[in-house]
A and B are shown apart, each in its own frame.
Chain A
Amino acid sequence: MSISSSSHTKRRTSARGQGQTPARGYRIGEVIELTGFSADTLRYYEKIALLPRVGRAASGARRYSESDLSRLRFIQRAKTMNFSLEEIARLLEMRAAPQAARDEVRELTRHKLKQVEAHMETLDALRKELSLLVNLCRGAAAGCPIIDDLDNRNKRNAKPSK
Chain B
Amino acid sequence: MRFEQEPVMTIKVEVFASPGCGKCGQAKEVLRKLSAELGAGRVQWREVNVLEELDYAVDLGVLATPAIAIDGMLVFTGLPSVRRLRGELERRLTAQPL
Interface on A for B, CB 8 Å cutoff?
125, 128-129, 131-132, 135-136, 138, 140, 145-146, 148-150, 153
Chain A residues lying within 8 Å of B62, measured Cβ to Cβ, are 132
Interface on B for A, CB 8 Å cutoff?
18-21, 50-51, 54, 57-58, 61-65
Closest A residue to B16 by beta carbon equals: A132
Asked if A132 contacts B19 (CB within 8 A), the reply is: no
Tell me whether chain A's interface is mostly helix, strand or loop, or mixed: helix
Query: What are 24 A-B contacts with C-beta separation under 8 Å?
Result: A125-B58, A128-B58, A128-B61, A129-B54, A131-B63, A132-B50, A132-B54, A132-B57, A132-B58, A132-B64, A135-B63, A135-B65, A136-B20, A136-B50, A136-B64, A140-B20, A145-B18, A145-B20, A146-B18, A146-B19, A146-B20, A146-B51, A149-B19, A150-B51
Chain B residues lying within 8 Å of A146, measured Cβ to Cβ, are 18-20, 51
**Distance in angstroms between the alpha carbons of A140 and B23 in the assembled complex:** 12
- Given A146-B51, A149-B51, A150-B51: A132 in contact with B63 (beta carbons within 8 A): yes
